[in-house]
Structure 1
Amino acid sequence: MGVDVGIVAQRGNDRAQRLAASLIRTVHDHGGHALVDEATGRAIDADSVPLEAMNDCAFVVSIGGDGTFLFTARETGGAPLVGVNLGEVGFLNAISPADAVETVETLLEEVHETGSITGRSVARLTATGDGWTLAPALNEVVVHGPKRGPAGGVDVEVAIDGETYTSSRADGVLVSTATGSTAYNLSEGGPLVRPTVDAFVVTQMCATEAMPPLVVGTESEITLTASGADAAWAISDGRNRQPLDLPETVTIRAADDPITLAGPSVNFFDALEKLE
């Protein structure tokens, strides 16, 4: 039986779509079966499947920037992911377009020889509240007030494993993975964390009585209790939004299903040089 490989190309990006067509040929030439997402299939006139159908693939290739990678990770479930970088920085995408075909060939050989893919396991965050659970976040979960600025904040108490760390009015509080430390966390003044470190970062956003960002272990349970505002939201990776019925407590912990990153790893320090 042939190996199933998922391929997801950045929407509206001709370069990504051309590379997707090339990778389809590569997979087929090596006895595999390429599953292409619906948007890519329409762009290159290829048979396609819904993204969730890629969950059982040997691996899935994301072609684009970090946004495309996050979208692919969210929609394809637990399949190992390979990121081909067409963006500027690419903390999640380790493969250059020039190396994409060779990387896919190497991974196909590994699957044929061993039956599986080895890779680096990356923690995700899950956020739960009163009757709801957000989709797992690879970068961060944010509890956010109605708007940014002095009149738009929310009172948030931060507790780690049941012990209060801080309580203040703020625009919000952000909890990031090590992977996400270079994203929204960094723009809010949080620290950089090397991706191989098992840690989460808790960062207040423009708090009136700010405490330093706090690094905790991935086994920690983080609770954010929001109150004192007309509205607030819990947001996963900038897309999945849950309105909060204040006062409400949001519990954040490591998700049961981490992501496996396949193929070569990103050179973290080289990627940092591309940050503005």
Structure 2
Amino acid sequence: MQIGIVGQQDNPRAASLAGDIRDAVDVSVVVDETTGETLGTTGISVDEMSQCDLVVSIGGDGTFLYAARWIGSTPIMGVNLGEVGFLNATAPENAVPTVQEMIEDHESGDSTVRTLDIPRLSATGDGWTLPPALNEIAVMGPNRGPNGGLTTEVRVDGSLYTGGHADGVLVATPAGSTAYNLSESGPLVHPNVSGMILNEMCARDGMPPLVVDPDAVVSIRADDAPAAIAVSDGRIHKEVDPPVVITVSADAPPVRIAGPEIDFFTALGKLD
């Protein structure tokens, strides 16, 4: 068995905990390059961890999203060093024994891996595709505010849902309902509910947020702006020239999560 560990960058506590896990187990352990520098060892790129049997993410939800973006179908266990932790179910003090339990289960053939019933989102345009998003795809203008934004037309399976001037449009998963969507006054959706959330950002004459079938295809036409920017999970950007149509669908492979169940309502209680 081989375990990959991705630590939150510039967080000594994450690197120290990665070292504790490495020293406590008797299987092969690799760490990301930044963590490796802190620990005085050679690290590997995160995308190489797709060959591991388990990846441990140590940090906040952002670290989890970063790791999940590159590891494909490899199971991921999140250790929460952040304030809320909707994706990280393991407390730091439980990290070592939980990983040891994962190893024992792997060796005995017991499955402690579950698949979120929330496929990741794919966003495609003319000749390009963004890396899959677990939280949301955002389509926006280069600037927000009265003189920014763009003109949008949002269709669901070809039928017009809304259109007009807005700072942008979000297509979020239930897992992402507590992230960017919530900051734009979108609804909370329990992660066990299947669907995609459509939410306009500061629309002049927009429609309320809408939850649609997870098999739906959402198309966003962007116009009347010097550029349109599609963003996957707040990290990966693609800038294109309007007019342009960007298609979003929930057909990317789902994330596989190892470890204890995430307590959604406990995490909600930590929100400001």
CA RMSD of aligned residues (A): 1.2
Which position in structure 2 is the counterpart of 1:137?
133
**Partners in 1 of 2:12 and 2:225 — Cα distance?**
45
What is the Cα deviation at residue 185 of structure 1?
A: 0.2
Which position in structure 1 is the counterpart of 2:77?
82
- Unpaired stretches in structure 1, ≥5 consecutive residues: none
Which position in structure 2 is the counterpart of 1:243?
239
| CA-to-aligned-CA distance 1:243-265 (integer Å, 9 cap, x gap) | 12211100000133111111112
Which position in structure 1 is the counterpart of 2:229?
233
SS of aligned partner of 1:48: coil
Counterpart residue identity of residue 46, structure 2: L
Would you identify which runs of 4 or more consecutive aligned residues in structure 1 move more than 3 Å?
none
Alignment of 1:158-173 (within 5 A): 158-173=154-169
Which position in structure 2 is the counterpart of 1:125?
121
What is the Cα deviation at residue 123 of structure 1?
A: 1.7
Counterpart residue identity of residue 246, structure 1: P
- Unpaired stretches in structure 2, ≥5 consecutive residues: none
**Partners in 2 of 1:114 and 1:170 — Cα distance?**
51
**Partners in 1 of 2:10 and 2:66 — Cα distance?**
15
CA contact (8 A) 2:174 2:196 kept: yes
Which position in structure 2 is the counterpart of 1:274?
270
Which position in structure 1 is the counterpart of 2:261?
265
Q: Which segment drifts farther, 72-81 or 115-124?
A: 115-124
What is the Cα deviation at residue 266 of structure 1?
A: 1.6
In the alignment, structure 1 residue 191 sits paired with structure 2 residue 204? no
**Partners in 1 of 2:155 and 2:62 — Cα distance?**
30
| CA-to-aligned-CA distance 1:83-129 (integer Å, 9 cap, x gap) | 00001001111100011111111111111111765213242101000
Which position in structure 1 is the counterpart of 2:95?
100
Counterpart residue identity of residue 200, structure 1: M
CA contact (8 A) 1:136 1:255 kept: no
**Partners in 1 of 2:115 and 2:129 — Cα distance?**
26
Q: Which segment drifts farther, 107-116 or 44-53?
A: 107-116
What is the Cα deviation at residue 210 of structure 1?
A: 1.3
**Partners in 2 of 1:132 and 1:64 — Cα distance?**
31
CA contact (8 A) 2:226 2:241 kept: no
In the alignment, structure 1 residue 256 sits paired with structure 2 residue 252? yes
Q: How many residues align?
A: 271
Counterpart residue identity of residue 49, structure 1: I
**Partners in 1 of 2:140 and 2:121 — Cα distance?**
16
| CA-to-aligned-CA distance 1:171-214 (integer Å, 9 cap, x gap) | 00001011000000000011001011111100000101110100
SS of aligned partner of 1:193: coil
**Partners in 2 of 1:26 and 1:194 — Cα distance?**
35
What is the Cα deviation at residue 73 of structure 1?
A: 1.0
TM-score, length-scaled by structure 1:
0.95
**Partners in 2 of 1:192 and 1:139 — Cα distance?**
13
| CA-to-aligned-CA distance 1:139-161 (integer Å, 9 cap, x gap) | 10000012111110211111111
What is the Cα deviation at residue 74 of structure 1?
A: 1.3
Q: Which segment drifts farther, 259-268 or 183-192?
A: 259-268
Aligned partner (choices 148, 152, 155) of residue 148 of structure 2? 152
**Partners in 2 of 1:256 and 1:275 — Cα distance?**
29
Counterpart residue identity of residue 135, structure 1: P
SS of aligned partner of 1:72: helix
Alignment of 1:42-61 (within 5 A): 42-61=37-56
**Partners in 1 of 2:43 and 2:238 — Cα distance?**
31
Counterpart residue identity of residue 81, structure 1: I
**Partners in 2 of 1:120 and 1:78 — Cα distance?**
10
SS of aligned partner of 1:106: helix
Which position in structure 2 is the counterpart of 1:64?
59
TM-score, length-scaled by structure 2:
0.96
SS of aligned partner of 1:54: helix
**Partners in 2 of 1:97 and 1:38 — Cα distance?**
21
CA contact (8 A) 1:59 1:117 kept: no
What is the Cα deviation at residue 78 of structure 1?
A: 2.2
Q: Which segment drifts farther, 242-251 or 45-54?
A: 45-54
Which position in structure 2 is the counterpart of 1:6?
4
